[in-house]
Amino acid sequence: MNVEECIKTRRSIRKYKDKSVDSEKINQILDSGKFAPSAGNLQNWKFIVVRKEEIITKLAEASFDQDWMIDAPVHIVIAAEPRKAERYYGARGERLYTIQNCAAAIQNMLLTAKDLGLGSCWVGAFDEEKVIRALNMPEDATPQAIITIGYADERPDMPSRIELEHQVYLDRWWGKGQGYKAKGYKSIAIQEGIDNTKKAIKRVAKRIKKK
Ligand SMILES: Cc1cc2nc3c(=O)[nH]c(=O)nc-3n(C[C@H](O)[C@H](O)[C@H](O)COP(=O)(O)O)c2cc1C
């Protein structure tokens, strides 16, 4: 599968088949996490593979009872070691790079799961303390995300995406340009205001012409 297809067809899967996932595939997913970029190549993460039903259930409970998680045969918890980044980069390392490093690893893993024919979902809504207790984590590690993995038992439609023309600026904030999808974003209210003003000007211009 090429990268574009993989990125565009990956979906968050919340319904899984009762079918186990072999360790080789999980290792490939972990390996792709390892190759993520990280600030100063610190790689200040740990990946905890969870297969025990009892712990998977605890993780679902910790995730504010997202019960669908229980049916995923594998969970991977991505935990950060913020102190390592703090030592090199201070507060920015601790608060920003640590999260970005882990997010890059998570996305690599989601895409690799897709490429291997597996479904996955990034779960971020959980009670950190409960996850820490369920996994017996040390104090200097913080859970960043849980990835559920298994064979998909659903084919969700793509949730809508905001058009690029509303997300891209050229050269400067609100910068418009040709050749890119940057049209310069205006809120719907502002656009309506502009359109109404243009119409009003046309009406006045017509009336003046008639006279
Ligand atoms: C930081 C983050 C936290 C998320 N947390 C949850 C979650 O707790 N539960 C869940 O079902 N999905 C969660 N998701 C998945 C999003 O709902 C999903 O990515 C989004 O709706 C777009 O759908 P797609 O992944 O199919 O493109 C999370 C995604 C991210 C990036």
Q: Are residues 170 and 142 in the same domain?
A: no
3-state SS class at 163: coil
Answer whether residue 159 is part of any domain.
no
For the chain, what is the mean pLDDT? 94
Q: How far apart are CA 11 and CA 23, in angstroms?
A: 22
Q: Are residues 98 and 200 in the same domain?
A: no
Token representation of residue 104: 């890059």
Answer whether residue 156 is part of any domain.
no
Q: Are residues 61 and 83 in the same domain?
A: yes
Closest to 50 (Cα-Cα) out of 174, 146, 138:
146
Give strand ranges (E) for the chain.
45-50, 74-80, 119-123, 142-150
Q: Are residues 145 and 171 in the same domain?
A: no
| CA triple 54-59-14, angle to 5 deg | 105
Q: Are residues 81 and 178 in the same domain?
A: no
Q: Are residues 183 and 86 in the same domain?
A: no
Answer whether residue 47 is part of any domain.
yes
CA of 181 from ligand 1 middle (Å) equals 26
CA of 27 from ligand 1 middle (Å) equals 23
CA of 177 from ligand 1 middle (Å) equals 32
SS (H, E, C) 102-119: HHHHHHHHHHHHHHCCCE
Q: Which residues line ligand 1 (CB under 6 A)?
A: 11-12, 14, 66, 121-125, 159
Q: What is the pLDDT of residue 192?
A: 77
Cβ-count burial 184-205 (b if 16+ within 10 Å, e if not): ebeeeeeeeeeeeeeeeeeeee
Q: Are residues 8 and 96 in the same domain?
A: yes
pLDDT tens sequence across 58-108: 999 999 999 999 999 999 999 999 999 999 999 999 999 999 999 999 999
| Pairwise pLDDT comparison (39 vs 180), residue with the higher score | 39
Could you tell me which residues come within 8 angstroms of residue 11 by beta carbon, excluding any fewer than 6 positions away? Answer: 119, 155, 156, 158
> pLDDT-derived band of residue 31, with 50, 70 and 90 as boundaries?
very high
- Residue 193 lies in domain: 164-210
Could you tell me which residues come within 8 angstroms of residue 29 by beta carbon, excluding any fewer than 6 positions away? Answer: 76, 109, 112, 113, 116, 118, 149
In this structure, the strands spanning 119-123 and 142-150 are antiparallel
Answer whether residue 91 is part of any domain.
yes
Q: Are residues 71 and 119 in the same domain?
A: yes
Q: Are residues 136 and 174 in the same domain?
A: no
3-state SS class at 12: strand
Q: Are residues 17 and 60 in the same domain?
A: yes
> pLDDT-derived band of residue 184, with 50, 70 and 90 as boundaries?
low
Residue of the nearest CA to atom 6 in ligand 1?
123
Q: Are residues 127 and 175 in the same domain?
A: no
pLDDT tens sequence across 115-132: 999 999 999 999 999 999
Q: What is the pLDDT of residue 187?
A: 59
Residues comprising the chain, all counted: 211
CA of 124 from ligand 1 middle (Å) equals 7
Q: Are residues 130 and 173 in the same domain?
A: no
Q: How many domains does the chain have?
A: 2
Q: What is the pLDDT of residue 167?
A: 87
Q: CATH code at 54?
A: 3.40.109.10
